[in-house]
């Protein structure tokens, strides 16, 4: 029986990459992430980890206050915190969800984003009832586009979106879909 999304907070691992719930001991890594202008230049301004000034407060509230609308997991590569991956925009009737990720600068170009997206897609396809995953990326963020392409997403459109910058943000829209018959 496939799980409904948000029925649990998964712990996912593949030998190198671990996706798991953030814990208080992850505060230093999260602080480094949220204080990096380079990381957030390609991201919406309204992400949950930026909601509170104190990252320990973010972690404390994350799986209560935020969990109804999104699920944020820490990305760990070879045991080290390297970023966040998020599920959001869950559409239960259509069995669809959106994903987004952000990584520490020191983790860029090392395969952590690709590994995290693949691991999450494997979980969604194999263990949940999700059949469609979407993503958005700023058109200038070629690295994110490359990760999505490597993970089987197809570029479907370029649209203006509200990313909180006070003006529309041109974004590429991506989709990864499998049929219910293809589910593992």
Q: Tokens for 147, please give them.
A: 């990760």
Residue 46 vs residues 50, 66, 97: alpha-carbon distances, Å: 7, 12, 18
pLDDT at position 182:
55
pTM of the model: 0.93
Q: Which domain holds residue 91?
A: 12-182
pLDDT > 70: what percent of the chain? 97
Q: Does residue 3 belong to any structural domain of this protein?
A: no
Of the chain, the end-to-end C-alpha distance in Å amounts to 11
pLDDT at position 89:
92
Return the CATH number at 85.
3.40.630.30
Q: How confident is the model at residue 142 (pLDDT cuts 50, 70, 90)?
A: very high
Q: How many domains does the chain have?
A: 1
Q: Does residue 48 belong to any structural domain of this protein?
A: yes
Output the average pLDDT for the chain: 92
The answer on pLDDT for 180 being more than 70 is: no
Q: Are 66 and 59 in contact (CB under 8 A)?
A: no
Residue 74's nearest CA partner among 122, 113, 26 is 26
pLDDT at position 184:
47
Q: How confident is the model at residue 17 (pLDDT cuts 50, 70, 90)?
A: very high
pLDDT at position 69:
78
Q: Does residue 131 belong to any structural domain of this protein?
A: yes
Q: Does residue 6 belong to any structural domain of this protein?
A: no
pLDDT at position 168:
92
- C-alpha–C-alpha distance, residues 88 and 99, integer Å: 6
Q: Does residue 7 belong to any structural domain of this protein?
A: no
pLDDT tens digits, one per residue of 73-124: 999 999 999 999 999 999 999 999 999 999 999 999 999 999 999 999 999 9
Q: Does residue 130 belong to any structural domain of this protein?
A: yes
For every residue of 39-96, DSSP letters joined together read HHTTS-TT-GGGSSSSHHHHHHHHTTTTTTTEEEEEEEETTEEEEEEEEEEEETTTTE
pLDDT at position 52:
87
Q: Average pLDDT, stretch 128-148?
A: 94
Q: Does residue 122 belong to any structural domain of this protein?
A: yes
Q: Does residue 2 belong to any structural domain of this protein?
A: no
């Amino acid at each position: 029986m496939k799980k409904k999304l948000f029925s649990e907070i998964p712990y996912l691992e593949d030998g190198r990459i671990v996706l798991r719930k953030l814990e208080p001991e992850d505060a230093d890594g999260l602080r480094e992430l949220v204080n990096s202008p380079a990381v957030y230049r390609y991201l919406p301004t309204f992400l949950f980890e930026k909601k509170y000034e104190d990252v320990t407060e973010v972690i404390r509230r994350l799986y209560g206050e935020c969990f109804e609308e999104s699920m944020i997991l820490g990305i760990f590569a070879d045991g080290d915190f390297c970023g966040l991956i998020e599920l959001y925009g869950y559409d239960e009737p259509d069995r669809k969800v959106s994903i987004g990720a952000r990584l520490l600068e020191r983790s860029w170009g090392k395969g952590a984003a690709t590994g995290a997206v693949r691991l999450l897609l494997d979980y969604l396809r194999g263990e949940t009832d999700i059949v469609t995953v979407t993503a958005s990326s700023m058109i200038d963020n070629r690295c994110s586009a490359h990760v999505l392409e490597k993970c089987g997403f197809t570029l479907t459109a370029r649209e203006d979106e509200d990313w909180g910058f006070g003006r529309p943000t041109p974004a590429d829209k991506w989709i990864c879909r499998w049929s219910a018959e293809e589910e593992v």
